[in-house]
Chain A
Amino acid sequence: MISKGQKRKLHDDVVGGMRSATWESQRQSVLGISLDKYHRGKALVEPSLRRSVLIANTLRQIHIENKPPYGLVNLAGPLPPMVPSNPCTHRESGLGVVNSTSGVEDMEEVWMSSESDFSLSAAVSSILKELDLTVDGGPGPQAPQRTPFMSIENLPRDMGLKQAPTCYLQDVKLDELFHDIDTSVFDREMGVRALSAAASDELLKYLPSLSSVPSTSPSPFSLNQSFRDLNELEHIMEILVES
Chain B
Amino acid sequence: MAGVAGGNDFQWCFSQVKGAIDEDVAEADIISTVEFNHSGELLATGDKGGRVVIFQHEQECKNRPHLRGEYNVYSTFQSHEPEFDYLKSLEIEEKINKIRWLPQQNSAHFLLSTNDKTIKLWKIGERDKRAEGYNLKDEDGRLRDPFRITSLRVPVLMPMDLMVEASPRRVFANAHTYHINSISVNSDHQTYLSADDLRINLWHLEITDRSFNIVDIKPANMEELTEVITAAECHPNQCNVFVYSSSKGTIRLCDMRTAALCDRHTKFFEEPEDPSSRSFFSEIISSISDVKFSHSGRYMMTRDYLSVKVWDLNMENRPVETYQVHEYLRSKLCSLYENDCIFDKFECCWNGSDRQETLALSLFKAICTYNVVLWTTFLPICKFKEYLWRIINDPLFPSFLSAIMTGSYNNFFRMFDRNTRKDITLEASRESSKPRATLKPRKVSTGGKRKKDEISVDSLDFNKKILHTAWHPKENVIAVAATNNLYIFQDKIN
Q: A2-B335, A132-B223, A149-B212 are known contacts. Are A30 and B280 too (CB-CB below 8 A)?
A: yes
* Complex contact A45–B88 (CB within 8 A): no
Of the listed stretches B124-132, B174-182, B184-192, chain A binds B174-182
Interface residues on B, range: 35 or more
A158 to chain B, nearest CB (A): 6
A40 to chain B, nearest CB (A): 11
- Residues of A near B88 (CB, < 8 A) are 46, 134-135, 137, 165
Tell which of B91, B174, B179 touches A155, judged by Cβ atoms closer than 8 Å. Answer: B174
A153 to B283, alpha carbons, bound, how many Å? Answer: 35
B220 interface hit (Cβ, 8 Å): yes
Q: Which of B174-216 contact A (CB under 8 A)?
A: 174-175, 177-179, 197-198, 201, 209-213, 216
Of the listed stretches B64-72, B138-146, B325-333, B475-483, chain A binds B325-333
Q: A137-B87, A152-B201 are known contacts. Are A54 and B247 too (CB-CB below 8 A)?
A: yes
* Complex contact A146–B213 (CB within 8 A): yes
A241 interface hit (Cβ, 8 Å): no
Chain A positions near chain B (C-beta within 8 angstroms): 2-8, 10, 26-27, 29-30, 33, 44-46, 48-51, 53-54, 56-58, 60-62, 125, 128-129, 131-132, 134-137, 140-143, 146, 148-155, 158-159, 162, 165-166
A60 to B343, alpha carbons, bound, how many Å? Answer: 18
* Complex contact B343–A51 (CB within 8 A): yes
Q: Which 5 A-B pairs have the closest CB atoms?
A: A132-B222, A148-B260, A151-B210, A140-B222, A49-B197
Kindly report which residue of chain A lies nearest to residue B342, judged by CB atoms.
A54
* Complex contact A53–B261 (CB within 8 A): no
- Residues of A near B459 (CB, < 8 A) are none
- Residues of B near A54 (CB, < 8 A) are 247, 283-284, 287, 343
Chain B positions near chain A (C-beta within 8 angstroms): 85, 87-93, 116, 174-175, 177-179, 197-198, 201, 209-213, 216, 218, 220-228, 230, 247, 260-261, 275-281, 283-284, 287, 330-335, 337-338, 343, 458
- Residues of B near A6 (CB, < 8 A) are 279
* Complex contact B209–A153 (CB within 8 A): yes
* Complex contact B225–A3 (CB within 8 A): no
Tell which of B85, B90, B247 touches A50, judged by Cβ atoms closer than 8 Å. Answer: B247
A50 to B230, alpha carbons, bound, how many Å? Answer: 8
A5 to B230, alpha carbons, bound, how many Å? Answer: 25
- Residues of B near A53 (CB, < 8 A) are 225-228, 247
Kindly report which residue of chain A lies nearest to residue B86, judged by CB atoms.
A162
Among A49, A142, A146, A155, which residue has the most Cβ atoms of chain B within 10 A? Answer: A49
* Complex contact B90–A46 (CB within 8 A): yes
Kindly report which residue of chain A lies nearest to residue B345, judged by CB atoms.
A50
B113 to chain A, nearest CB (A): 19
* Complex contact A5–B334 (CB within 8 A): yes
Tell which of B279, B283, B332 touches A57, judged by Cβ atoms closer than 8 Å. Answer: B283
* Complex contact A128–B222 (CB within 8 A): yes
- In the assembled complex, 23 residue pairs joining A and B whose CB atoms fall closer than 8 Å, in A order, are A5-B331, A7-B278, A30-B280, A45-B93, A46-B116, A49-B198, A49-B228, A53-B225, A53-B228, A53-B247, A54-B284, A128-B222, A128-B224, A129-B223, A135-B177, A140-B220, A146-B261, A149-B210, A149-B212, A151-B210, A153-B210, A158-B177, A165-B88
* Complex contact A140–B221 (CB within 8 A): yes
A68 to B220, alpha carbons, bound, how many Å? Answer: 32
- Residues of A near B247 (CB, < 8 A) are 50, 53-54
A2 to B462, alpha carbons, bound, how many Å? Answer: 14
- Residues of B near A5 (CB, < 8 A) are 279-281, 330-334
- Residues of A near B209 (CB, < 8 A) are 151, 153
Kindly report which residue of chain A lies nearest to residue B196, judged by CB atoms.
A49
* Complex contact B225–A50 (CB within 8 A): no
- Residues of A near B228 (CB, < 8 A) are 49-50, 53
Tell which of B85, B210, B261, B281 touches A152, judged by Cβ atoms closer than 8 Å. Answer: B210
Kindly report which residue of chain B lies nearest to residue A34, judged by CB atoms.
B337
Tell which of B277, B338, B343 touches A33, judged by Cβ atoms closer than 8 Å. Answer: B338
* Complex contact B330–A141 (CB within 8 A): no
A57 to B337, alpha carbons, bound, how many Å? Answer: 14
* Complex contact A45–B91 (CB within 8 A): yes
- Residues of B near A151 (CB, < 8 A) are 209-210
A108 to B349, alpha carbons, bound, how many Å? Answer: 54
- Residues of A near B261 (CB, < 8 A) are 146, 148
Kindly report which residue of chain B lies nearest to residue A125, judged by CB atoms.
B223
A150 to B202, alpha carbons, bound, how many Å? Answer: 12
* Complex contact A26–B280 (CB within 8 A): yes
A54 to B283, alpha carbons, bound, how many Å? Answer: 8
Kindly report which residue of chain A lies nearest to residue B85, judged by CB atoms.
A46
- Residues of A near B198 (CB, < 8 A) are 49
- Residues of A near B335 (CB, < 8 A) are 2-3
Given contacts A49-B178, A57-B284, A165-B88, 19 further A-B contacts (CB under 8 A): A3-B334, A5-B331, A5-B333, A7-B277, A30-B280, A45-B90, A51-B343, A57-B226, A58-B281, A58-B284, A125-B223, A129-B222, A131-B222, A135-B88, A137-B87, A143-B218, A151-B209, A153-B174, A159-B87
